[in-house]
Structure 1
Amino acid sequence: MLYNTFINYNNIILIMKRQIYTFLLFTVLVTMSSSITAQKTKALKQPNIIFYLADDQDKYDYGCYGNDKINTPAVNRLAKEGLVFENAYTGQSICAPSRTQLYTGNYPLKNGVFLNHIQAKNTQVGISKYLETLGYDVILAGKSHVKPKEVFDWTHEWRPVHKEEQVRPYAPIDEIENYFESADKPFCMFISSDLPHSPYYDVVGKTADDLKFYPFNETDKDKNYKVKETAGYYRNVEEDNNQLERVLKLVDKYLDENTIFIYSADHGKTGKFTVYDRGLNVPFVVRWPGVIKPETRSNVMIHYTDVLPTFVEIAGGKTPKNIDGKSFLPSLKGSKKAIHEYVYGVQSNQNILSASVFPSRMIRSKKYKYIRNFNSIEVVEKNYGDNQYVNAFLKRGAEKFKDTPYEELYDIENDPFEMLNLAKKPTFQKIKKELIKDLYIWMNDQEDFLVEDNYMPILKPANNRLDISSKFIKVPTELENTLNDEDYLILHY
């Protein structure tokens, strides 16, 4: 009897163990299933992000921004289906500095790319590192113009496609389509166009009446070569729109509505190399079905440095610390609350084709803009040091811009094309003083070398030296090859 009792007891233990095991297995499976479901749900909530970036196009040259003489149907379609920002800015109106802001969330001085054709500081963190940790592929399709690789380490990178019949390389449409068709995870893709940057198509038969001119280039309509150049530029714009339309058709074909599409251009054509709004105020159109109300416009001031933190927040992360940008996700959802009180701009005329020493800094609120030109003809002698050759190049830079004053102040609301300088008007001195104070706070934060009064360094170029004649600049014989390594400011590059 004791034996039978022992057997029954063992059976009971065995049954209990099996039940516990079954329960534990069930619990594990349910947990795993819940985890997988949560991951799938998270993935579904993470939208795809596509940022289409045109090259060298004025904000004024779009139908959706008021130009009725230019053909931009693809951008106009996005505007009709989404949100148009009136006050989007880049911090520098040159290709490499503008793009580097997008990908680092920092202004040119802080990220290191405040001259064209130089690389970012290797301490910078590129956007791919942030988004890849959140489960995204981060892709650059088309023009790069940024370096080094250790900062801009894309998940995939596809180069532009050269075609004989095109004046500029084309976007890698085949690679884009193949990726859209096979994508199995959320992605952020920058489609970086080479258009409408020069050279331009050769267009005949156009007159000034076929084009639109503005107060800052009104006299161009009387110059045949300018009319022809502008007509060719318009044709490049049309070709870029054709390319954009092909991309939008692929989006419609392969991707669902959980896709954000942003269109912008890296800086303006007529304001290139300057800190005027025609260079820094960029087009910025966003379509996000189900989130953005169609046919809306925003006056909220946003900046290229804001793109990175906005994308990180959209992907489910938090804004990185120690960057200049702020997320404008609330603006996409309809908020009219200000993101910035001010945006800032940088101008450097060194390391461009017609290189000269004439740096400028800009601060802009929604109403006013202040510009300081640190090597203007008014102050150039205060910038002189002991080196006669350096002084000679400072003088050449000031004389090249002899009509540009030391200070400029504009009431943007009443003078959007910056035609009336108020800097010396007595009634605007208080406003000017406030802007100067905040400009210098920002410059100090950026570790700007111009915060020291009457200090005007020569910057060592990557390509275009001040003391060597070229196709684009003629250096007097007595100044050729007169600058030595010790004459240049030592920088990260």
Structure 2
Amino acid sequence: MKPLTLVMALLGTGSAFAAAPNFVFFITDDISPADLGIYGNRKVHTPNLDRIARKGLVFDNAYLTISSCSPSRCSIITGRYPHNTGAPELHLPLPSGQRTFVQELREAGYHTLLSGKNHMAKPDQLGFAMASDSGPSGSENWIRHLRERPKDQPFFFWFASHDAHHPFQQNAQAPIYDPADVPVPPMLADGPLTRRELANYYHEVSRTDTYAGRIIDELERQGILDSTYFIYCSDNGRPFPRCKTYLYDSGIRTPLLVVGPRVATGRTKSLVSSIDFSATILDLADIPIPETVQGASFRTTLSDPTYSHRDVAFAERNWHVFQLHERAVRSGKWLYIRNWWPARHNVSGESASFRFGAVRELWELAAQGELSPGQALLTVTPQPPELLFDVEADPFQMVNLAGETNHSDTLRRMRLLVEQWIEETGDSVPANPTPDRQPLHQSDQQAKIRRGDLPGADKGAERINRPGPIRTDH
């Protein structure tokens, strides 16, 4: 019997639930931290998140396990690396045998609900008692759910917006941006097509802020804000070239804002991984963490921002419209990326398809020699097999240090960390990988994807629970 369920049986429903915290898990779609005011952006309007951040803790070094929609969500909800979930590639459903932290919450007596984007599996399989969706934001039902929830149960709400995912749709819930006035991230081409696309994207970024503010206001109105954890994050980086699907910070780093009981206010530089979200939420609910969870709780960091529960964070890049196989580790100020298929173009749909204006503009300007080497890198072959970046000195990861002799010791150390993680978690390079879905610059949305071998399948990775390194000796 689960702890909360046991207390219910002994003391009665009301007594048991009085001490149980609530959770609102707000996961956005395709948003990078640099697009929010709480991370220094002064052009994109996110006043509600600015206000909410004053009540809680902002994480400056939160990293995803993959920068690809469905694999990222499946990783978060299981607390497992993508190759260990059985769903490491885009559009693969989570296998029914995988355990989710939402199932643990529901069995312990929580009212669980998913509203907005799913992209994982059937809601009941994931542990949700209810599910709903709406458009264009996916956020339109959230306040109603908060008001109509059962009042005799603690709740966990997985609120998943469609913002800010292509195709962008404008409405009255956020500002309309002038393309001439929007900030252009340095890895993109600064041209009219890119600016127009960014203006539409930033509208949807701001729309997530609108709904974040409404959630906090409703929790305050109901008098339950002090007993509710509010978590704001994203599944991957902005849907633009060299961002979404990539293992640079523009793709793999996530915004993370947490407000709740005994959560400190301010900022933390402590390293966390999205694989840790499940363990942390269960820990905060005082529910045992299943052995299938590979992540580790950062509960202590929430009350002590100087505490770091991990020294390394790993990430992977698998098939996402095109064949990809890269692995990465972040440790201290260093980011290391290894590419197993350097002869291939290093692209996904959001960096290759000419139906996106920013993609067309970048490739055309690259062909004309009008981009910096860092901006143009994804358009050339072969690719570097290894990348090493000093993230503090080079925040946009434009200068590869892997070939410099004075960084050879760091390169070797980071390479060994990735190799150890691969070995311990049962990762592998597919011998017969899933083929590209479409030609390089086309948008051939095939009805059926012919899957190949999945990374880790030959090693039985779905059944492996070892997490790989978390702490290092230095």
Question: TM-score, normalization: structure 1?
Answer: 0.76
> What is the letter of the counterpart of residue 94 of structure 2?
A
- Cα deviation 1:285-325 (Å, max 9, x = unaligned): 01114x1233x101111111111111111111222224211
Task: Report the alpha carbon displacement of residue 261 of structure 1 after superposing the two structures with TM.
Answer: 0.8
How is 1:456-467 mapped onto 2 (pairs within 5 angstroms)? 457-460=431-434, 465=437
- Find 2:156's aligned residue among 182, 188, 191: 188
Q: Which runs of 5+ in 1 are unaligned?
A: 1-31, 381-397, 451-455, 476-482
The answer as to 2:35 corresponding to 1:67 is no
CA distance in 2, matches of 1:88, 1:114: 20
Tell whether the 8 Å contact from 2:28 to 2:233 is kept in structure 1 after alignment: yes
Task: Report the alpha carbon displacement of residue 358 of structure 1 after superposing the two structures with TM.
Answer: 3.0
The answer as to 2:269 corresponding to 1:299 is yes
Task: Look at both structures and tell me which one has the larger radius of gyration over its CA atoms.
Answer: 1
- Find 2:413's aligned residue among 430, 434, 441: 434
Residue matched to 2:280: 310
The SS at the match of 2:33 is: coil
- Cα deviation 1:360-386 (Å, max 9, x = unaligned): 111111211111111102999xxxxxx
Residue matched to 1:147: 121
- Cα deviation 1:108-150 (Å, max 9, x = unaligned): 0111222110022333101222112322122211110002556
> What is the letter of the counterpart of residue 130 of structure 2?
H
Task: Report the alpha carbon displacement of residue 206 of structure 1 after superposing the two structures with TM.
Answer: 1.9
CA distance in 1, matches of 2:54, 2:289: 30
Tell whether the 8 Å contact from 2:179 to 2:198 is kept in structure 1 after alignment: no
Q: Which runs of 5+ in 2 are unaligned?
A: 1-6, 347-376, 463-474
- Find 2:63's aligned residue among 89, 97, 116: 89
Question: TM-score, normalization: structure 2?
Answer: 0.79
> What is the letter of the counterpart of residue 255 of structure 2?
P
The SS at the match of 1:458 is: coil
Tell whether the 8 Å contact from 1:134 to 1:316 is kept in structure 2 after alignment: no
Tell whether the 8 Å contact from 1:139 to 1:156 is kept in structure 2 after alignment: yes
> What is the letter of the counterpart of residue 196 of structure 1?
A
CA distance in 2, matches of 1:184, 1:190: 19
Change beyond 3 A, Cα 1:173–1:189: closer
Number of residue-to-residue matches in the alignment: 412
Residue matched to 1:408: 387
Change beyond 3 A, Cα 1:331–1:52: same
Tell whether the 8 Å contact from 1:328 to 1:339 is kept in structure 2 after alignment: yes
CA distance in 2, matches of 1:50, 1:298: 21
Change beyond 3 A, Cα 1:114–1:205: closer
CA distance in 1, matches of 2:115, 2:9: 36
CA distance in 1, matches of 2:9, 2:109: 19
Of the structure 1 ranges 302-311 and 314-323, higher mean CA displacement relative to structure 2 is found in: 314-323
Task: Report the alpha carbon displacement of residue 42 of structure 1 after superposing the two structures with TM.
Answer: 4.1
CA distance in 2, matches of 1:446, 1:131: 26
How is 1:36-185 mapped onto 2 (pairs within 5 angstroms)? 36=11, 40-147=14-121, 151-158=125-132, 160-162=133-135, 166=136, 168-173=137-142, 175-180=144-149, 182-185=150-153
Tell whether the 8 Å contact from 1:313 to 1:319 is kept in structure 2 after alignment: yes
Change beyond 3 A, Cα 1:126–1:252: same
The SS at the match of 2:31 is: coil
The answer as to 2:232 corresponding to 1:263 is yes
The SS at the match of 1:49 is: strand
Residue matched to 2:183: 212
- Find 1:328's aligned residue among 274, 298, 316: 298
Tell whether the 8 Å contact from 2:388 to 2:401 is kept in structure 1 after alignment: yes
Task: Report the alpha carbon displacement of residue 184 of structure 1 after superposing the two structures with TM.
Answer: 1.4
The SS at the match of 2:126 is: coil
The SS at the match of 1:215 is: coil
Residue matched to 2:168: 200
Tell whether the 8 Å contact from 1:134 to 1:315 is kept in structure 2 after alignment: no
Residue matched to 1:248: 216
The SS at the match of 1:362 is: strand
Task: Report the alpha carbon displacement of residue 404 of structure 1 after superposing the two structures with TM.
Answer: 2.6
CA distance in 2, matches of 1:252, 1:372: 47
How is 1:343-382 mapped onto 2 (pairs within 5 angstroms)? 343-348=313-318, 350-352=319-321, 355=322, 357-377=323-343
The SS at the match of 1:292 is: coil
CA distance in 1, matches of 2:30, 2:445: 26
- Find 2:398's aligned residue among 392, 416, 419: 419
Structure holding more helix per residue: 1
Change beyond 3 A, Cα 1:155–1:34: closer
- Cα deviation 1:191-250 (Å, max 9, x = unaligned): 111112122247988244x22233323x32xx1111111111111122222222222222
Tell whether the 8 Å contact from 2:231 to 2:259 is kept in structure 1 after alignment: yes
- Find 1:273's aligned residue among 245, 262, 269: 245
Task: Report the alpha carbon displacement of residue 457 of structure 1 after superposing the two structures with TM.
Answer: 2.7
